[in-house]
Amino acid sequence: MNHQATGRMNRNGSGVRRTFQGLTVTVLVVFLAFSMIPSFNVMSGTIIEWEPHPTIEEYKDIYAISSTESIEIKESSSSATRDIPTTNDNSRIKNSPRDADVLSPSIGNKIDGTGDIFESDGKRFDSSIKVHLNIRSWFQKREHYYSSWSEIIGSVREMKSNADKDGPILDFLVAGFPKTGTTTLVANLGHVAPVPARDICHGNLPKIVKNAYGNWPRIFGKDKPLTGFKCPQYMNRGDWLVDLSEKMPRTKLIVGIRHPILWFASFYSQMTNNWGKINPMDLTRPCSKEEKCQYGCPEGQRNCIYRGRFHLALASLGKTKMTNRERLILAMNDADGGNAVENYNISNSIFLYEQTTLNDDYVWEELAEYLNVAEIPHSRYASSHGKADKFKKRKEHQAEMKSGSSRNSKSTMTKNSTLVREDFCSDKYDKIRAKMMPIAYEVAVWMQDYFIPLARDESRTDVVIPKPDVMYDIVETYKKDPCGTLVRDENSGTYRKSNSTISGGIVGEG
């Protein structure tokens, strides 16, 4: 090898060494730099401080507001006035026991539906107040822990057990029941949460959390304090409820009920609108033990009169003691009733409302307290036929959302629904109503004897019912035919028209 070739190799070797040394230094500098700065969470698009989970005591320190500490505030130009609960008015705050040891409900500031903040004296300030001095600190801080809530198991991402131990990840779930005003409910919750006014029903919690912290805020607004979603199927899906309770027990359930006759009339109307005329008698067959029941209906049916047994689904939450006596009124003669009703021991708290009360302010006030916000504007109405963006004025739907008769009256309900008046109050539907009324009666008795008393018990903060005495009176009307033509036989428990029992054919037929 000549000297020129050797010189070129030496020069090339030196260049490679210098290049390698330069890359090594660069990598070392980058490594040191990233070890000293926060990391970026690709999923949530936020800067994450890779710090260990704060202890409960540290969270208490976060939410504690010193009376002597000075804070920077900027007064809002809004002149709106509202009745805002103050720091000392703790009696109006309803929280689950799980909230008490981490998220203090008695701090001075609460957040209203527009994102503005109220001081404890009721004055309104905007969000320039220091976030670590009020309840918004968790709302803003929690996304920093996004990557710690789930893990890859095999090839599937799963939420960790008790993932929300440091504070709620999803604040609420509108869990049921369909055709009880859930679409209107979630449309108004859109004031305080970036949530679509439609069903999100696939049971994939990691995917829902990803949307709640990623896509939905970009679409429905980032400056909203809460997170949540709507899936009215949850109350009839024990597997989903158990998964939620295990992974996110701090998510608060919101559930609506309705007179089963009116519920079925509304559901039947939706079904015929979507799929054409259906013989409603085809929806009255019970599910047998040999079938795979879904929603309490025979295999292959998504809706039937037995889906209106709201008390079975509510009992399966495990909030009541589920005694043998209680099981006697949980559809004891049905294949999936009585002793077959599962007790899932769901840890999540529940807020139960009645559909006819959605136009009443007190329901929304108590819902706001339940969710730890100052108020929830509730002038929106949304249909459940996929047109949630077409809202109607509140007053225009007052007659539709409320019954025509007094809810506190013990007289027979009047024909208070267009669907019932035009269809299900006609003679040809007497048989269907006669089959459903024993279901409605059982719902009322179980609610009055077992579930409503839980809301009256001050020690049971996991069950919230706005004005339990009003709910008691409303479900009393479930014992009566909303059309006013069928009367209960106290001996047999069946419902009769005149002196004839409607058990086989329609009254008047052979």
**Four-CA torsion 132, 221, 226, 203, nearest 10 degrees:** -140
Closest CA to 446 of 438, 436, 458: 438
Query: C-alpha 131: how far from its chain's center?
Result: 26
How far is residue 244's CA from residue 170's CA, in Å, rounded to a whole number? 10
Structure tokens at 369: 């307290």
Answer whether residue 44 is part of any domain: no
pLDDT computed for residue 255 by the predictor: 98
Cα separation values, 430 from 146, 425, 448, 500, Å: 54, 7, 26, 11
Q: What is the mean pLDDT of the chain?
A: 73
For 484-504, what is each residue's pLDDT tens digit?
A: 999 999 999 999 986 554 543
How far is residue 316's CA from residue 356's CA, in Å, rounded to a whole number? 24
Residue 287 binned pLDDT confidence (cut-offs 50, 70, 90) = confident
Answer whether residue 350 is part of any domain: yes
pLDDT computed for residue 503 by the predictor: 46
Q: Is 161 within 8 Å of 246 (Cβ atoms)?
A: yes
Closest CA to 126 of 80, 167, 87, 172: 80
Q: What is the residue range of 207's domain?
A: 135-382+426-497
How many domains does the chain fold into?
1
Residue 299 binned pLDDT confidence (cut-offs 50, 70, 90) = confident
Residue 238 is inside which H or E element, if any? Answer: helix 238-247
pLDDT computed for residue 124 by the predictor: 33
Answer whether residue 7 is part of any domain: no
For 268-283, what is each residue's pLDDT tens digit?
A: 888 888 778 888 899 9
HSE of 274 in the Cβ direction (CA atoms, 13 Å)?
9
Q: What average pLDDT does range 321-328 have in this prediction?
A: 96
Answer whether residue 503 is part of any domain: no
DSSP 406: -
**What Rg do the C-alpha atoms of the chain give, in angstroms?**
28
Q: Is the pLDDT of residue 225 over 60?
A: yes
Q: Is the pLDDT of residue 321 over 50?
A: yes
Answer whether residue 479 is part of any domain: yes
Q: Is 194 within 8 Å of 217 (Cβ atoms)?
A: yes
Q: Is the pLDDT of residue 11 over 80?
A: no
pLDDT computed for residue 138 by the predictor: 67
What percentage of the chain reaches a pLDDT higher than 90? 51
**Four-CA torsion 430, 431, 433, 438, nearest 10 degrees:** 130
Q: Is the pLDDT of residue 399 over 50?
A: no
Q: Is 306 within 8 Å of 294 (Cβ atoms)?
A: no
Q: What average pLDDT does range 343-354 have in this prediction?
A: 98
DSSP 37: S
In which residue are the tokens 């706005």 written?
A: 466
390: helix, coil or strand? coil
pLDDT computed for residue 424 by the predictor: 83
Q: Is the pLDDT of residue 464 over 90?
A: yes
497: helix, coil or strand? strand
For 86-120, what is each residue's pLDDT tens digit?
A: 223 333 223 333 333 333 333 233 333 333 333 33
Residue 367 is inside which H or E element, if any? Answer: helix 361-370
Cα separation values, 227 from 131, 168, 208, Å: 18, 9, 10
CATH number for position 356? 3.40.50
Is the previous residue joined to 34 through a cis bond, with omega within 30 degrees of 0? no
Residue 144 binned pLDDT confidence (cut-offs 50, 70, 90) = confident
Nearest 5°: CA angle at 140, between 136 and 141?
110
For 425-440, what is each residue's pLDDT tens digit?
A: 989 899 999 999 999 9
Cα separation values, 208 from 204, 288, 478, Å: 6, 34, 36
Answer whether residue 257 is part of any domain: yes
Cα separation values, 203 from 121, 159, 199, Å: 42, 12, 11
SS3 track for 252-303: EEEEEECCHHHHHHHHHHHHHHHHCCCCHHHHCCCCCCCCCCECCECCCCCC
Answer whether residue 182 is part of any domain: yes
Residue 199 binned pLDDT confidence (cut-offs 50, 70, 90) = very high
SS3 track for 75-133: ECCCCCCCCCCCCCCHHHCCCCHHHHCCCCCCCCCEECCCCCEECCCCCEECCCCCHHH
> Does the reported pTM lie above 0.85?
no
Beta strands in 410-494 (DSSP E): 463-464, 487-488
pLDDT computed for residue 317 by the predictor: 98
Amino acid at position 83, single letter:
D
For 42-91, what is each residue's pLDDT tens digit?
A: 333 333 332 333 333 333 333 232 222 222 222 223 333 222 222 233 33
Q: Is the pLDDT of residue 15 over 90?
A: no
What b/e readout covers 103-118, taking b as 16+ CB neighbours within 10 angstroms?
Answer: bbbbbbbbbbbbbbbb
